[in-house]
Amino acid sequence: MIQLTPMVKVRLTWALIALVPVLVLAVFFVLPVIGMIGRGLWIDGRFDPLGVAEVLVRPRVRRVLWLTCWSAAGGTAVSVALGLPAAYVVHRLEFPGRQLLRALLLVPFVLPTVVVGVAFRQLFAGPLAFMGADGTAIAIIAALAFFNISVVVRAVGASWESMDPRPAEAAAALGATPAQVFRTVTLPSLRPAIVAAAAVVFLFCATAFGVVLMLGGPRYATVETEIYLLTTNLLDLRAAAALSVLQLLVIIGLLVVLGRLDRTPRAAINRVSARRHRPALSDLPALGATGVALGLLLIPLATLVLGSFRRSGAWTLLNYQALARYDESLDASALDALVNSLQVAFDATWMSVGLGLSVAAVLTRLRTSATLRRTGRVVDGLFALPLGVSAVTLGFGLLITLDRQPLDFRDSLWLVPIAQAMVALPLVVRTLAPILAGLDERQRQAAASLGASGWRAIRVVEWPALRRPLVSAAGFSFAVSLGEFGATSFLARDGALTLPVLIYRLIGTPGSMNLPIALAASVVLAVVSAGALMLVEHAETRVGWS
């Protein structure tokens, strides 16, 4: 009988832990994406790569690529321009209601895209109809900024709050004005965080689906929505595959850039104490920009809520009462769809958190040599790929590849939560991996030298640091899954619709009462999603680090 050394046993254990998420990713992500792309590259059983080139030179495809680039750039510019002053106000000023303002600025990121699309349609077709922006690129850019201001606030604000205040104080003591201090001291320290946040925002804007589909339709299509339209309306899988390949290559490039930015030195961590101060006259521009950002976030939602109480020009609760009514054309009621969405989101959450925790734990163990560190970067990049692949590609790929034994999941109730777990998985890994990587390896070694077993060392050393990030990862995963629309639009079956899919179908179904009911359903979905984030914020303040 072969005797294994303790070191070999540990390595085998971690290899088995890594095997599970790798197999899941291979079956439910890599295989479907390859299947979708293969449908477009192999025509009548023959490999035809020239067909991809032919697709990319089509006039409409060139317009789609151009719109994707400049709308993402516009959304990024607005998000950064409004997010930077808001990050300063939230993280460097002290005033009553600061925590509430922070929560309001962060809520939009987890709102379902369908809800935001409905809200902006209601806004630009109603109170702001005079602007003529309904169904235009202006509405799309405004909605993209709505989502991503919170990304800038969260990412840049954390770096701003941790900066050592002494260099800025020294510059001010030497006579520098607040603007000079910001330009010469603060901005250089924040530049890596700003660039990284802008890159992430551009990635999110370029891959936005539901909100662009709702506001732009076929006329203002981006790569993401064009893949959907080509797949569902025109059945042109070659063109859809060509755009999927192009999108994948571009996003992988962005992820490589983000990986390099993650290794760029950031602002020095403040070892003194975070110093917030009362607002002064010099803070008025930042406060004004934050007010504009808050208006951009709250006015569409207020318009949505008010519209949900209107029917035939009168105030009423009938729209909410109708949510429990069964709709024969949709084979569901909004209440049934909400219950199904909650169940699916719960299943997707425990899947993504379980897989993400395994991946993060394995990544932190691959640091003992240069070779293992390179392997770790490859594994990390592999599990970041769902960020760079169209949810539409994933959803349709799951539908056409998992259609035969032993992988026939077409009629399985697990297919939708699995797809949503794949979408949320990179967010979980990105939340947990830095925490585990930041732990001092000497703590693990000390626990082992004192006789603690591997699992006891994990419970004593790693679990206290993981409790709070796990709550955060689970909350964000739940909120993202609750509002996921791209992959779910292909996979949700009649009789088991999720609420985002039902809302989209209500809007697309003729009938004067469908839009008011869709508005009410959107309000309910927004409240549930925002409530999930509020619970996360509350839990994070109660769950300690030790």
Taking a C-beta distance cutoff of 8 angstroms, is the pair 290, 157 a contact? no
Any alpha helices (H) in 366-437, and if so which ranges? 370-384, 391-401, 415-437
Taking a C-beta distance cutoff of 8 angstroms, is the pair 254, 202 a contact? yes
The whole-number mean pLDDT for each consecutive block of 10 residues of the chain, a chain of 546 residues, reads: 56 71 88 81 73 80 91 94 93 86 83 89 85 84 93 85 76 76 81 86 88 86 88 79 80 73 51 64 88 92 92 89 82 88 94 89 68 67 76 83 78 87 87 72 57 58 73 85 87 84 84 84 90 72 48
pLDDT, residue 273, reads 45
Rounded to 5°, the CA angle 445-429-77 comes to 130
Return the closest-CA partner of residue 98 out of 271, 273, 279, 274. Answer: 279
CB neighbours of residue 81 within 10 Å: 15
pLDDT, residue 541, reads 58
> Is the preceding peptide bond at 265 cis, omega within 30 degrees of 0?
no
Cα first-last separation, the chain:
43
Kind and range of the H or E run holding 114: helix 113-125
pLDDT, residue 149, reads 94
- Domains annotated for the chain, with CATH where assigned, are 1-32+313-546 (1.10.3720.10), 49-275 (1.10.3720.10)
Q: Which two tokens stand for residue 193?
A: 């965080």
**Burial of 186 per CB tally in 10 Å (0-12, 13-18, 19+):** buried
Q: Which two tokens stand for residue 165?
A: 């205040």
| 3-state class (DSSP) for residue 219 | coil
Taking a C-beta distance cutoff of 8 angstroms, is the pair 176, 103 a contact? no
Return the closest-CA partner of residue 38 out of 400, 460, 476. Answer: 400
pLDDT, residue 85, reads 93
pLDDT, residue 83, reads 94
pLDDT, residue 264, reads 52
CB neighbours of residue 51 within 10 Å: 17
Amino acid identity, position 2: I
Sign of the CA dihedral running 317, 320, 321, 327? positive
Rounded to two decimals, what is the model's pTM?
0.82
Length, in residues, of the chain? 546
Give CA–CA dist 284/296, Å, rounded. Answer: 18
